[in-house]
Amino acid sequence: MSQSKSREHAELAFSDVQSQFFGRGNAVEEIDHVTRSREEKTSRLREARLAKEEEDRLIAATKPAVKTRKKA
């Protein structure tokens, strides 16, 4: 009987360690997914910003200079 009790105890301890191990793996996968998503979003936003800046530069280059009047 003591052998089965100690075996139960060992199996419970192993189960706890195994659960922690797999739980840690899931957490790492989730963090990787969040990091990858953030990097993709940052890349899209950077590309959009650079395209907008280039468009603004082209518009400014083709737009004639506006003369301002001096107030008396």
Give me the pLDDT at residue 52, please: 98
**Domain assignment present for 53:** yes
Residue 1: C-alpha distances to residues 15, 23, 31, 58 (Å): 21, 33, 45, 85
Question: Looking at the domain assignment, is residue 29 inside a domain?
Answer: yes
Confidence of residue 2 (pLDDT cuts 50, 70, 90): low
Residue 72 lies in a domain: no
Helix (H, G, I), strand (E, B) or coil at 46: helix
Q: Is residue 55 part of a domain?
A: yes
pLDDT band at residue 1 under the 50/70/90 scheme:
very low
* Residue 28 belongs to some domain of the structure: yes
Taking the C-alpha atoms of residue 33 and residue 46, their distance in angstroms, rounded to an integer, is 20
Tokens, residue 63: 């737009």
Q: Domain range spanning residue 44?
A: 23-62
What is the average per-residue pLDDT within 54-64? 90
The answer to whether residue 11 is domain-embedded is no
pLDDT in tens, 36-51: 999 999 999 999 999 9
Number of domains in the chain: 1
- Is 12 part of any domain? no
Whether 51 is covered by a domain: the verdict is yes
